[in-house]
Amino acid sequence: MMISRAIAIVVIASASMVMVSSCSVARHQESVGEYVDGSIITTEVKAKLANDPGTSAANINVKTIEGGEVQLSGFTKSQAEKNRAGELARTVKGVTRVHNNLVVKP
């Protein structure tokens, strides 16, 4: 009876470890919660760009990377549009840093 109980404890502990470790999408990648948070940030930045008359959201790609860092890439028609896109991204809750890799292409 004592051996059965010990085996049951080991099985439960192993199952718990598998469930906890499966919370990460993959090793050295963000957790499911971080991925969802990043998706929300990305969506909010895209919405701000789309609603702003000074930016063309169609030409700007937004990606949220680890820790709330946002990467902007693509093309803008002016330096002012590039700067505006960076400013808008910084105003979104949860954004910790903006990498503005937009290229001005008149």
pLDDT tens figures, 52-99: 999 998 999 999 988 899 999 999 999 999 999 999 999 999 999 999
Spatial distance between the Cα atoms of 86 and 83, rounded to a whole number of angstroms: 5
pLDDT tens figures, 37-53: 788 999 999 999 999 99
For the chain, domains (ranges, CATH) are 30-104 (3.30.1340)
What token pair was written down for 34?
């971080």
Selection from 39, 40, 104, 45 nearest residue 78 by Cα: 104
